[in-house]
């Protein structure tokens, strides 16, 4: 399957990669999702790499696949990436959680949303997630640290240390770090913050929804309404978020939407 896509992906022509060592919750989730797809590969990256061209591989944040995904990108081999969603997701969120399993993001050839589209507001409104007005004039910067798994998957050795060192070249503001397991609400750290800095953490998406400007990697969905250059840390931007929020909502789907075909009709 090359760069061109059929109007609707046939789920029978897909293959879900299920990594080893999953928690009970994740194992159950992967098994349920896999039962609705064409093929499953469990913990064997070489087997995933030998799939026929007409089968769409579906992968997540699995460090053992980093090299294979890089090869797919070099050869324009289409793949699908899925992970927890942007809003009404499950776990690891300080925004309202999703009901009945929440939402998961699904993208072709990218890890997060990379383009804002002209879309209706129906899906975003249905999420009933409050958007806080942009604010400015904060005194500190929040750095959302990547997890060990995410760092291995994206090759981010010493990302936090390098990022803080770079920030100190361009600002004298206080720097606060937080990780994914922090019990302290994200909103608490964002209160009085000048900006949030992350690589691709969905904390950056949540930060934008909470009205705090962000600085992220280009692969982050938040880069579409934030900045990627830390040398501009003193001049954050405050763009219109509505088209971006609509695009986010059309890039995440519930399990029921995988089953009824909504995902395959809307995925980009």
Q: How confident is the model at residue 4 (pLDDT cuts 50, 70, 90)?
A: very low
Report yes or no on 134 lying in a domain.
no
Question: Could you tell me which of 128, 122, 129 has the C-alpha nearest to residue 246?
Answer: 122
Say whether pLDDT at 182 is over 90.
no
d(CA 195, CA 158): 21
CATH number (domain holding residue 165) = 3.40.50
Report yes or no on 6 lying in a domain.
no
Report yes or no on 188 lying in a domain.
yes
Query: How many domains does the structure of the chain reveal?
Result: 2
Report yes or no on 43 lying in a domain.
yes
Whether the CB-CB separation of 71 and 77 falls below 8 Å is answered with yes
| Span 219-233, pLDDT tens digits | 999 999 999 999 999
Which residues, at least 6 apart from 61, have a Cβ–Cβ distance to it below 8 Å? 83, 149, 150, 153
Residues 144 and 201 in one domain: yes
Residues 232 and 253 in one domain: no
Residues 64 and 158 in one domain: no
Residues 177 and 115 in one domain: no
Report yes or no on 132 lying in a domain.
no
Residues 232 and 251 in one domain: no
Report yes or no on 190 lying in a domain.
yes
Residues 221 and 177 in one domain: yes
The structure's pTM equals 0.92
Stretch 231-257: mean pLDDT, rounded? 97
| Span 191-218, pLDDT tens digits | 999 999 999 999 999 999 999 999 999 9
Report yes or no on 206 lying in a domain.
yes
Residues 147 and 93 in one domain: no
Residues 115 and 172 in one domain: no
Query: Can you give the residue range of the structural domain that contains 201?
Result: 140-240
Residues 164 and 252 in one domain: no
Report yes or no on 56 lying in a domain.
yes
User: How does DSSP classify residue 28?
Assistant: H
Residues 157 and 229 in one domain: yes
Specify the residue for token string 């990627």. Answer: 228
Residues 225 and 174 in one domain: yes
202-209 and 242-249 are packed helices; what angle lies between their axes, rounded to 10 degrees? 140
Whether the CB-CB separation of 231 and 251 falls below 8 Å is answered with no
| Span 106-150, pLDDT tens digits | 999 999 999 999 999 999 999 999 999 999 889 999 999 999 999
Residues 43 and 17 in one domain: yes
């Amino acid at each position: 399957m090359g760069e061109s896509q059929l109007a609707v992906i046939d789920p029978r022509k897909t293959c879900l990669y299920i990594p080893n060592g999953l928690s009970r919750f994740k194992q159950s989730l992967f098994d349920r999702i896999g039962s609705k797809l064409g093929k499953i590969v469990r913990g064997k990256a070489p087997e995933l790499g030998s799939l026929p061209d007409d089968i769409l591989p579906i992968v997540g944040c699995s460090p053992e696949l980093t090299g294979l995904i890089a090869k797919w990108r070099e050869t324009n081999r289409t793949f699908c990436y899925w992970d927890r969603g942007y809003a009404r997701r499950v776990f690891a969120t300080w925004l309202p959680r999703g009901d009945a399993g929440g939402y998961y993001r699904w993208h072709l050839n990218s890890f997060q949303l990379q383009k804002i589209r002209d879309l209706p507001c129906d899906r975003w409104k249905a999420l009933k997630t409050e958007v806080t007005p942009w604010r400015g004039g904060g005194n500190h910067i929040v750095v959302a640290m990547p997890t060990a798994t995410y760092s291995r998957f994206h090759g981010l050795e010493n990302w936090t240390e390098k990022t803080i060192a770079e920030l100190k070249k361009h600002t004298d503001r206080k720097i606060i770090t937080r990780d994914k397991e922090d019990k302290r609400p994200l909103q608490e750290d964002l209160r009085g913050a000048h900006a949030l800095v992350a690589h691709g953490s969905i904390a950056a998406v949540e930060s934008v929804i909470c009205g705090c400007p962000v600085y992220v990697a280009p692969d982050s969905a938040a880069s579409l309404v934030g900045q990627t250059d830390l040398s501009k840390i003193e001049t954050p931007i405050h763009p219109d978020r509505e088209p971006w929020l609509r695009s986010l909502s059309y890039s995440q789907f519930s399990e029921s939407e995988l089953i009824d075909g909504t995902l395959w009709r809307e995925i980009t």
